[in-house]
Structure 1
Amino acid sequence: MKRRAFLALAGAAAVSTACGTASGSGSGTKTLRYQGSAGAVTLPELAADLGYLGDVTLDWVGNTISGPQDIQSAATGQTDFGGAFNGAVVKLAAAGAPIKAVVGYYGSDDRAYNGFYVQENSPIRSAADLAGKKIGMNTLGAHSEAMLDIYLQRAGVDPKKTEPLVVPPVNTEQSLRQSQIDVAVLGGILRDKALQTGGIRKLFTDFELLGPFTAGTYVFTDRFIKQNPDTVRTFVTGVGKAIEWSRSTPTAQVVDRMTRIVAKRKRNEDGSALKFWKSWGVAEKGGRVSEHELSMWVDWLAGRGELANKKVDISSLYTNEFNGVGP
């Protein structure tokens, strides 16, 4: 997969939405189609289990390992909402997809972060050592590649000299240990599970680079929001409440709740890594979206030539109108 492959996906989504396929599931729907994550619990799934979605139900259509793919599915009407790294949201919108960010769902703090890890005996010690090296991440053109670029650029290293590769998250640790890649991007429960096993060490983390920040948001199409404002309000507020419930509830209880969710949905998956969950990493109360969380990626995208000189109106890309959890 090429370094800028997602740009083609974004263009395809823009064409598809222009043809009127990004519609959601109809006027006044109370059912939201979505993609989940194997062995993990998403915030909407937690919100539903806590009863925060009221009469709105979730319809799982499969799993995804890629934020850009997830929001493309929402933009083209294959699902009703999707979540991705905010840079990917900006890029898809710049390509013409009529989407709007409504609530944050993941980020980085001192407990929830993505790290770049190497084998314990690896000669890689700094950015300069990454030239010609293979870095495994869940998708290209999104969160992990942005962090890599920032890390390299701050050290005066050309990002083009490295080789980012797509590796499914569940396989990333193994790929590193088998020397199929030189660096592995690991986050959350998969990171902590790998660290517990030992034999790897940290090169850097996104939290060390940028401090605490909300990194990704859930989006709906403008059309879906217009047709289903009450459903969107219930969803956004429910997710916001789930974020705050997770903050105020002992971690062990949150983990226990999510473990039970995985067990009862019977998707033939391994939820054992959930015990390593610590935080969603969302910076703002209730996942409210700030303009800075989107605008900070415009320069990065422009520097990569991925905005095609298009001006992006950040204020039109997000709304907190539907979030009933106060700032």
Structure 2
Amino acid sequence: MRYTARRLRQGVAHWSYFWGMVGSLVLFGTPAFAQAPEKLELRYQGWASKVLYPELAEDLGYLAPIKLKWVGNTISGPQDIQAAVTGDVDFGGAFNGSIVKLVAAHAPVKAVISYVGTDKQTNGGLFVLQGSPIHGARDLLGKKVGVNTPGAYEQYLVTAYLEKAGLSKDDLQKITFVAAPPVNLAQLLKQKQLDAIFLEDIIKDKLVADGGATLLTTDYQLFGSFGYASYLFTDRFIAQNPNTVRKFVDGTARAIEWARNTPHDEVVARLKKIVAQRHRNEDASIVNYWKSAGVGGKGGLINADDFTTYIDWYVSNGVLKAGQVKPEDIYSNQFNPFNQSVAAH
């Protein structure tokens, strides 16, 4: 499904006047690079037992003089980006398909950097209990599958797995998706309250290490390496704070590359230190299962296909109309230092 989506050339976007003005500041003028950040504190929501790349960036000193202000944890990407739209936080992150839906609903937002993805070492997987009678896609008919958020990335991956196995749309209606926090899904599976669960990155790897579960497939096996979640700001925030956004993206991008290029044990030690110092009463042992940066593009660069895949999915199942949303309406790489057009100026 991912590879059959139409290929859109990155960067051939017809930006609106607003984005043209912002782009001229970032790409061709020096003010956006020379001026200090307009806002020195960014409110955000965290994830239990995870260190986000902005958190790592702050710890590495890449965000200075900007400070992050944690306002609580979320278990839902859609909730996180909605909080950004309403102004409860300054930035939010979610599955790219959820961002597509938000833009389709005319929310004035722009995705600026990818922060979650899949690669050979870091990926999400669909699990059943060891000894379960479920051995393949068709065995899931009539069963309950646990995901963190209905209609988001994990449900998309399970749906793709089922469709690749030849199941029809009518077959898909026979599967019940159940929402639960990622840290609780494994327990619900072990208690047999769920028949299968989808877990992402290090939480998945912890379940594998603990034993007792069988892996049916992974997102990497289905589609290879790609980014599937991005951070966004509102258009208004970007217009009022372009240097703050640039610094945020720059620091987060550098943190991603630091994690990609630093020895594994050093990265894990740093993540454990961050979790220990923030005192959020969370399971720090999950950090031990960190394997790789797990982000598609260098420094979190976004590819058009990171959104067209889900646009096509929503069009095919009737959620969106053809042409209702275009990738250039959704994201911009213009603040990312690893964007060649930015680095050239």
TM over 0.5, shorter chain: yes
Report the Cα offset of residue 196 of structure 1.
1.3
The question of 1:218 aligning with 2:228 is answered no
The question of 1:257 aligning with 2:267 is answered no
The question of 1:188 aligning with 2:201 is answered yes
Partner of 1:133: 143
* 8 Å contact from structure 1 (residues 94, 310) kept in 2: no
* 8 Å contact from structure 1 (residues 103, 217) kept in 2: yes
Could you report, residue by residue, the CA deviation over 1:243-289 in whole angstroms, capped at 9, with x for unpaired residues? Answer: 10001101111110011111111122221110001123111111011
* 8 Å contact from structure 2 (residues 103, 329) kept in 1: no
* SS across alignment from 2:112: strand
* SS across alignment from 1:297: helix
* 8 Å contact from structure 1 (residues 35, 63) kept in 2: yes
Partner of 1:48: 58
Match of 1:305 among 318, 330, 334: 318
State the alpha-carbon separation in 2 of the partners of residues 171 and 93 from structure 1.
30
Partner of 1:21: none
State the alpha-carbon separation in 2 of the partners of residues 323 and 302 from structure 1.
30
Which sections of structure 2, spanning at least 5 residues, go unmatched?
1-36, 341-345
**Residue identity matched to 2:312:** D
Aligned residues: 301
Match of 1:171 among 165, 184, 192: 184
The question of 1:322 aligning with 2:335 is answered yes
**Residue identity matched to 1:282:** V
Report the Cα offset of residue 326 of structure 1.
4.2
**Residue identity matched to 1:39:** S
* 8 Å contact from structure 2 (residues 109, 233) kept in 1: yes
The question of 1:104 aligning with 2:117 is answered no
* 8 Å contact from structure 1 (residues 112, 279) kept in 2: yes
* SS across alignment from 1:49: helix
The question of 1:240 aligning with 2:235 is answered no
Match of 1:66 among 76, 85, 95: 76
Instruction: Give the number of the structure whose alpha-carbon radius of gyration is greater.
Output: 2
* 8 Å contact from structure 1 (residues 30, 56) kept in 2: yes
Match of 1:35 among 36, 45, 53: 45
* SS across alignment from 2:126: strand
Report the Cα offset of residue 307 of structure 1.
2.0
* 8 Å contact from structure 2 (residues 56, 271) kept in 1: yes
Match of 2:215 among 199, 202, 215: 202
* SS across alignment from 2:99: helix
Could you report, residue by residue, the CA deviation over 1:32-75 in whole angstroms, capped at 9, with x for unpaired residues? Answer: 11000112110000000000002111110000111111111111
Partner of 2:303: 290
Report the Cα offset of residue 310 of structure 1.
6.2
In terms of mean alpha carbon deviation, does 261-270 or 126-135 score higher?
261-270
